Structure 1
Amino acid sequence: MTRIPVFVGIDVSKDRLDVALRPMSDHWAVANQDADIATLVARLRHHAPTLIVLEATGGLELPLTGELAAAGLPVVVVNPRQVRDFAKATGRLAKTDTLDAAVLAQFAEAVRPALRPLPDAETQALSALLTRRRQLIEMCTAEKNRLGSALPPVHRGIRTHIAWLDRRLAEIDEDLAHTIRESPLWREKDDLLQSTPGVGPVLARTLLASLPELGTLTHKQIAALVGVAPLNRDSGTFRGTRRVWGGRAHVRAVLYMSALAASRFNPVIRTFYQRLCAAGKAKKVALTACMRKLLTILNAILKHQTPWTLPFSHSS
């Protein structure tokens, strides 16, 4: 007798886990704590699901994801925007925890996102440091903006807070450097990435923590994953302007700054950028192309374990 494939969606919140199964339309909820997670994992193992889908929820999903993976269950963490777009496309406009779990199960059944290796504890720790670094930078930028429009009585307090944020940012950078240097594998990859002109420690560490697929995919796949591959916007006889969107926005933001530096100091990227501008391309379009080219080069460097050299030739 053929076993029916079972698809599971789990909506994760701080205090509760809502679970939905398809195609049997079963659903229940448990507390988001260790004992209940263990019971949930055992119950799901009994169902032998084909796929379990969770949304990325800023780290709340990590304990459950780790337990599911340790139990050998096929679990995927997906971008929440993909799921909301899917829900809208299927006419589900209401949003509750129970409905969200049902949508996740339906998404698992219909889309079947590919399984990817989950980050280990070291990678999660590095990612947490990078996330905190971004938060500190955002807070520092906000305080500097406030300082420009604030009245004199509050200037001292704002400057004190900015100084504290700068010190904490320096400490985070030290922690990141120490974490990288403690791992021989990461240290080797970090050295390879930073051998490229225009690539500094921030981009190298961001790629290590947030783009572990770098060096394992083709140049087209890695560009699409980050969101720097131009996508067509055509319909009938209409031919729209190709645009980049989606992907991992925080990686793309750091890559943009590195491409900006590389367009001045990396001979390959600089020549490429100047050629595009000379051909009439807008500077923003040319810089986006430089982001894609720089990412392609870094992908090839890690794939072939070869540091930057001139002339540099890359392969997919």
Structure 2
Amino acid sequence: MAKRNTICAGIDTSKDKLDVALDGSSEELQVKNTAEGHQELVEWLKRHKVKRVGIEASGGYEQAAVAELRRQRFVVIVFQPIQVRAYATFHLQRAKNDKMDAALIAACTAAVKKIHPAPDPRLQPFAVHLTMIDQIKEDIAKLKNRLESCPDERIQKFWKEQIALLAKHRRAEFKALVAAIRKHRDLAARLDLIYSVGGSGLPTAVAILIRMPEIGQITREQAAALTGLAPYDDDSGKHVGARRIDGGRQRLRQALYTAALPASFRWNPQLMALYSRLIAAGKGHKRALVACARKLIVIINAVVARGTPWVAEPPRTASVSVT
């Protein structure tokens, strides 16, 4: 829990500017969202003896400011927009402008009781690179849809050439990303641990390494929640609703779900046994795959925490309760 004398600031981010407010104070600042503006921000925060800074994620426009603040050894909390909106709703605050948002984020920052360690700064450029690779894959899928619905042979040839070119670029970029990761001995070792798990192909292992820096340092429940694969209750009074997954990191969840299919049919005996039990119990294919994806990240988390490569365990005969 933060000490009462911890001075907190909140920053509302846009493409061109940063609005800054101090919690419990009328002091305000507005600077450009540039390197020069960030330096002015740092000097202002130091002058006001700020220790903790909250900033709302804003489509990547906050990243340069966050990096500079952490480099200057401020404790920085990056909030998701849903967190700030929930805090505003709780306090019945409906009015909205940039200055008010900065003050709201400052109050939200002061209310945080548990501060999580800052992520490894080496992973940020890797995350940008991986997102580009994912976007190329998405572009290929769009072009394939166009190809299927196109009756013109000349245009079909054009789309095929574009698909082949993008696929070539994607392979080259992924190879370059893996090479960049392997320049760091500790990251390479962690990647190999993740990759050792049956069903975790190299693309999946890279996605987990980059998009889940907490891997191996959290509980199995936290791992499932961060990936958006944890089932949540929907019960109230006499109503008992179906448990559903929600939230989490979308691109990471998609990577795990994609990996779960081949892992549950060929590569991982534990997941193969789990899938068979769930299908035999009347669960649908999709629910069974979600459970297998959740089990996969739990296994990977345990392997990284243990620090030794995965060894396939024989399937358990006892029934396991999975929803």
Verify same fold: TM over 0.5: yes
Which residue number in structure 2 is paired with residue 186 of structure 1?
Answer: 187
The aligned runs of 1:63-82 (5 Å cut-off) are 63-82=64-83
Distance (whole Å) between structure 2 residues aligned to residue 79 and residue 134 of structure 1? 22
Cα distance in 2, alignment partners of residues 47 and 130 from structure 1: 38
Deviation at 1:3, TM superposition (A): 6.6
Q: How far has the Cα of 1:39 moved from its partner?
A: 1.5
Amino acid in the other structure paired with 1:242: R
Cα deviation digits, residues 96-136 of structure 1 (max 9, x gap): 4333323322322334563322322x312211111101111
- SS in structure 2 at match of 1:182: coil
For structure 1, the 5+ residue unaligned runs are none
Residues 52 and 109 of structure 2 are in contact (CA less than 8 Å); yes or no, is this contact kept in structure 1? yes
Residue 287 of structure 1: which of 286, 289, 310 is its match? 289
- Residue in 1 that maps onto 2:313: 311
User: Which 5+ residue runs of structure 2 have no aligned equivalent?
Assistant: 316-323
Moved more, 154-163 or 268-277: 154-163
Paired residues of 2:31 and 2:40 also in contact (CA < 8 A): no
- Structure 1 residues 2-11 or 263-272, which shifts more? 2-11
Q: Tell me if 1:301 matches 2:323.
A: no
Deviation of the 1:148 alpha carbon: 2.7
Counterpart code for 1:303? A
In the alignment, residue 9 of structure 2 is paired with which amino acid?
V
User: Is the alpha carbon distance of 1:90 and 1:283 closer, same or farther for their aligned partners in structure 2, counting shifts above 3 Å?
Assistant: farther
1:148-167 aligned within 5 A: 148-150=148-150, 152=152, 154-167=155-168
CA contact (8 A) 2:77 2:109 kept: no
Tell me the C-alpha RMSD between the 2 structures: 2.3
Question: How many aligned positions are there?
Answer: 311
- CA spacing shift, 1:236–1:286, aligned 2, 3 Å: same
Pair 1:113–1:49, CA change in 2 (3 A) = farther
Is residue 2:140 matched to residue 1:140?
Answer: yes
1:127 aligns with 2:130: no
**Aligned position for 1:271:** 273
Larger mean CA deviation between 239-248 and 40-49 belongs to 40-49
Distance 2:56 2:202 in 1: 29
Could you tell me which amino acid in structure 1 is paired with residue 211 of structure 2? S
Which residue of the partner structure matches residue 243 of structure 1?
244
SS at match of 2:295: helix
In structure 2, what is the equivalent of residue 49 of structure 1? 50
Q: Please give the per-residue CA displacement for 1:76-102, whole angstroms capped at 9, x wherever unaligned.
A: 112223223433444444554333323
Equivalents in 2 of 1:84, 1:53: separation in Å? 14
Give 1:6 deviation, angstroms: 3.0
Verify the 8 A CA contact 1:45 1:73 in the aligned structure 2: no
Secondary structure in 1 matching 2:251:
helix
Report the 3-state secondary structure (helix = DSSP H, G, I; strand = E; otherwise coil) of the residue aligned with 2:182. Answer: helix
Aligned to 2:104: 103
Between 230-239 and 86-95, report the one with greater CA deviation.
86-95
Identify the residue that residue 115 of structure 2 maps to in structure 1. 114
- CA deviation map 1:290-310 (0-9, x unaligned): 111111110010001111113
User: Tell me, what secondary structure is at the counterpart of 1:11?
Assistant: strand
